[in-house]
Structure 1
Amino acid sequence: MASAALALTVILGGTGCAMLTYQATTEKYDASDGVSADVGALAVRNILLVMEEGGSDANLVFTVSNSSDEDAELEIGLADGDSQTVEVEAHGQVVLGADDDQEEPLLIEGIDAKPGDLVDLYLSTGGSEGLEIPAPVLDGRLPEYRALRP
């Protein structure tokens, strides 16, 4: 009986410590260069702008997923300027600017920014309150962004 109690203590003591340990995998974070936001049923991921050094136009690159049963529209643009609309089918996904077989990135004109800056973007969708997020501005120094310049 004493050996069974000792074995149980050893087993619980050796495996129970994971219950109290911090688990970094439960934390959400942006694993790439862009930022993320949730607007209603739309999940917008890896939002970033790519521009030429010294230019005033930038390509807006991101992925948007719709988790609802209805089609949705994402309005996205400069916080103090015009916005553009992206249509996303129910349970669908739209990738702008990632690969040649995806949709083209959105062109944002007249940006007063340079690579390394953050630009405030405004995102909204039909039935929810919009939000403003700071998106990073990158240039084509990295090979993965070279083809995304305007």
Structure 2
Amino acid sequence: MKLTVPARLAAASLAAVALAGCSYVNPITTHKNYSASDGTQLVVGDVSALNLIVLTAAEGSPATLIGTLVNDTDEDIAVEVSIDGETSTSLTVEADSTLKLGPQDGDAEVSGSATAAPGSIVVVGFTANLSEVDSVDVPVLDGTLPEYADTLAAIG
């Protein structure tokens, strides 16, 4: 059976529409930003706060915020960070760089006393360049997961 040119064009068009329908019905999710780890994330102005976790042994014990702040701009950005409205910490994220948060050497430490027990959620507030303000719910974890045991031991 030999198909005519119009029949071939019609078949090719139908195949193209059928194959393209998958992305129409199911949105492409790889273009959406998401937290791929235990923490949460937030974008405040030109600063991205990634993989945010509050780490503590127990409610009322010393706690620290771990995560990463990213500045993709050409200028330094001043950032204020507070955990559950407690004392805020002033940081500077240099132009086109990242700033690791945590208690390890070389990290910027945002610490205080845990206002919630591990397994709970606390609100972490961010202010960038004194004008962009936002907050995010951040999970409170302890050293139960082996990947956080060493970091928890460094809190002091």
TM-score of the two chains, using structure 2 as the length reference: 0.82
1:120 counterpart = 2:109: no
One-letter code aligned to 2:99? V
1:111 counterpart = 2:119: no
User: Which structure has greater helix proportion?
Assistant: 2
Quote the RMSD (CA, aligned, Å).
2.2
CA contact (8 A) 2:54 2:66 kept: yes
1:18 counterpart = 2:22: yes
TM-score of the two chains, using structure 1 as the length reference: 0.84
CA contact (8 A) 2:54 2:138 kept: yes
Q: Mark the runs of 5 or more structure 1 residues left unpaired by the alignment.
A: none
CA contact (8 A) 1:96 1:103 kept: no
Take 1:43 and 1:86, find their aligned partners in 2: how far apart are those partners? 14
One-letter code aligned to 1:15? L
Report the CA distance shift for 1:121/1:34 in structure 2 as closer, same or farther (over 3 A).
same
The counterpart of 1:59, out of the listed 49, 58, 64, is 64
CA contact (8 A) 2:102 2:110 kept: no
Task: For residue 42 of structure 2, give the secondary structure of its aligned residue in structure 1.
Answer: strand
Task: For residue 20 of structure 1, give the secondary structure of its aligned residue in structure 2.
Answer: helix
Cα deviation for residue 18 of structure 1 reads: 3.1
CA contact (8 A) 2:59 2:115 kept: no
Cα deviations by residue, 1:15-70 (Å, 9 ceiling, x for unpaired): 22234131222332211111111111111101111111355211210101112111
Take 2:56 and 2:132, find their aligned partners in 1: how far apart are those partners? 29
Report the CA distance shift for 1:42/1:54 in structure 2 as closer, same or farther (over 3 A).
closer
How many corresponding residue pairs? 148
Task: For residue 86 of structure 2, give the secondary structure of its aligned residue in structure 1.
Answer: coil
